[in-house]
Amino acid sequence: MSVYLAVCKPKVVALIVFTAVVGMLLAVPGAVPLDTVVYATIGIGLAAAAAAAINHVLDARLDATMVRTRHRPLPAGELSSRNVMIFAVALGVSSMLILGFLVNLLTAALTLASLVGYAVVYTVYLKHATPQNIVIGGIAGASPPVLGWAAVTDTVDPYALLLALIIFVWTPAHFWALAIYRRDDYAKAGVPMLPVTHGNEFTRLHIFFYTVLLVLASVLPYLTGMSGAFYLGGALVLGGVFLYYAARLLKDRGARLPMRVFGYSNFYLMALFGFLLFDHYYALLV
């Protein structure tokens, strides 16, 4: 079972589920029905796991050529593509049944669109078609807060889209830092990631540019009245550290710094959504 868990990319799924749950809790001023939170969390989590498993199947040959991924279960021969695909379909169908019957049809439809967007559109086409693959494909990856919000309200709210915008702008800086570190891997595999097609220097500039956009986007919840001063303070501190790392990346050619930026970007997103959540409930108490 641990091998099947590995093809679900548990760390990625955990971040997806966390941002979706935050979307649920921010959707209404008071308490969210517990059954909705439970069913939506399970359904969205299963869909994310299904997308990850499909990604493993479709990228199996590619993964075998890359140092970072060659020890995954499929390249290592621990699982067959057929078994993983059956597993993925079972997860996906279970997700749709839970969301469709126990949450609402809008959430099920949006989740299905996100699953297809990542597992098929990004993995099969965008990843190999353009160095802007992660930017365009980030639309699917930015959807979890929208899914969570829709699960509670059965609507697509502008505030939910604002949360999605933050994740969308966060994604390029996050992933391109890893791509710089793994540039030789991607070049060997023939994947046109930005560092491969345009070089590390060009990519570093783009990471800085998107980090600036991210800091600006992260202020919008405060400016639109969605969140208060506590969130603003947290967002500015987190964004300031991210900008510091991005600025260092422009000059520092060390091999380790891109992975430090990548690691911080994960912490940044979780902490930022944590501030959103704390601010939301703090505002209800004062």
Measured CA to CA, the distance from residue 26 to residue 123 in angstroms comes to: 31
Task: Write down the residue that tokens 């949450």 correspond to.
Answer: 103
pTM recorded for the entire structure: 0.95
And the tokens for 38?
């439970």
| Confidence at 88, pLDDT banded by 50, 70, 90 | very high
Over residues 213-227, the pLDDT tens digits come to: 999 999 999 999 999
Measured CA to CA, the distance from residue 286 to residue 282 in angstroms comes to: 7
Measured CA to CA, the distance from residue 93 to residue 71 in angstroms comes to: 28
- Residue 232 exposure: Cα atoms within 13 Å on the Cβ side: 11
Over residues 25-81, the pLDDT tens digits come to: 999 998 899 999 999 999 999 999 999 999 999 998 888 888 888 889 999 889 999
Over residues 224-272, the pLDDT tens digits come to: 999 999 999 999 999 999 999 999 999 988 888 999 999 999 999 999 9
Measured CA to CA, the distance from residue 129 to residue 60 in angstroms comes to: 18
Measured CA to CA, the distance from residue 134 to residue 196 in angstroms comes to: 13
Proportion of the chain above pLDDT 70, given as a percent: 99
C-alpha pair distances (Å), 222 with each of 121, 196, 231: 34, 38, 7
pLDDT at 1 over 70: no
pLDDT at 286 over 70: no
Task: Write down the residue that tokens 């949360």 correspond to.
Answer: 163
Residue-level pLDDT at 66: 86
End-to-end CA distance of the chain: 47
C-alpha pair distances (Å), 255 with each of 105, 171, 218: 47, 21, 29
SS (H, E, C) the chain: CHHHHHCCCHHHHHHHHHHHHHHHHHCCCCCCCHHHHHHHHHHHHHHHHHHHHHHHHHCHHHHHHCCCCCCCCCCCCCCCHHHHHHHHHHHHHHHHHHHHHHHCHHHHHHHHHHHHHHHHHHHHHHHHHCCCHHHHHHHHHCCHHHHHHHHHHCCCCHHHHHHHHHHHHHHHHHHHHHHHHCHHHHHHHCCCCHHHHHCHHHHHHHHHHHHHHHHHHHHHHHHCCCCCHHHHHHHHHHHHHHHHHHHHHHHCCCCCHHHHHHHHHHHHHHHHHHHHHHHHHHHHHC
User: How many other CB atoms are found less than 10 A from the CB of residue 155?
Assistant: 12
pLDDT higher at 106 or 60: 106
Residue-level pLDDT at 260: 96
Task: Write down the residue that tokens 């540039």 correspond to.
Answer: 183
pLDDT at 284 over 80: no
Q: Is 151 within 8 Å of 106 (Cβ atoms)?
A: no
